[in-house]
Amino acid sequence: MNAMNLRSASLSVLVIGLALLAGTANAQGSPQLELPRIKLTADMYQIDVQLAQTPEQREFGLMFRKQMPQPEGMLFVFDVPTIQCFWMKNTILPLTAAFVADDGTIVNLADMAPQTTDSHCSTRPVRYVLEMNQGWFAKRAIKAGFKLGGKPFEGH
């Protein structure tokens, strides 16, 4: 290989490497918008939720998202009920977490301030956590003991 071909090959490897790094950074710095969606109900209100079902989806959650329409949220789905704890590192939006039992009953609610590492936990084991814009539940007088409806909670 002559010097010209070697330089060209090296440049190609560098360009490919930079493109891969940019793609990784973009994937880590961008909100998850392509997750599966389902509808939940809270009395007469419909909620359009994205499902965070894998460890990676749950870990990333709503980080870096700058806005979320009021009737939308994210439902974190875990394999088995356990005490769930959430924090807001890299999360820009103020959120409320509803810790939800298998039958859709809200166990407890926690308002969470953006960009903090304060831990917000369920008061008993749950398999679901629904994050909504802060104030969404309060404005609708939805509290612990309220039952949500939707496919994940059917049959319980």
Pair 71, 136 in one domain? yes
Pair 114, 63 in one domain? yes
- Are 136 and 97 in contact by the 8 Å Cβ rule? The answer is no
Pair 1, 75 in one domain? no
22: domain range?
Answer: 1-30
d(CA 103, CA 155) in angstroms, rounded, equals 8
Q: What is the pLDDT along the chain (156 residues), one digit of tens a residue?
A: 544 444 444 433 333 333 333 333 334 455 688 999 999 999 999 999 999 999 999 999 999 999 999 999 999 999 999 999 999 999 999 999 999 999 999 999 999 999 999 999 999 999 999 999 999 999 999 999 999 999 999 987
Pair 24, 44 in one domain? no
d(CA 116, CA 3) in angstroms, rounded, equals 53
Number of domains in the chain: 2
Pair 53, 80 in one domain? yes
Query: What CATH code is carried by the domain that includes residue 104?
Result: 2.60.120.1140
pLDDT value of residue 99: 98
DSSP letter (8 states) at residue 151: G
For the segment 17-52, what is each residue's pLDDT rounded down to a tens digit? 333 333 333 344 556 889 999 999 999 999 999 999
b vs e for 60-84, b when ≥16 Cβ sit within 10 Å of the residue's Cβ?
bbbbebeebeeeebbbbebeeeeeb
Cβ neighbours, 10 Å, residue 132:
25
Pair 4, 45 in one domain? no
Pair 12, 71 in one domain? no
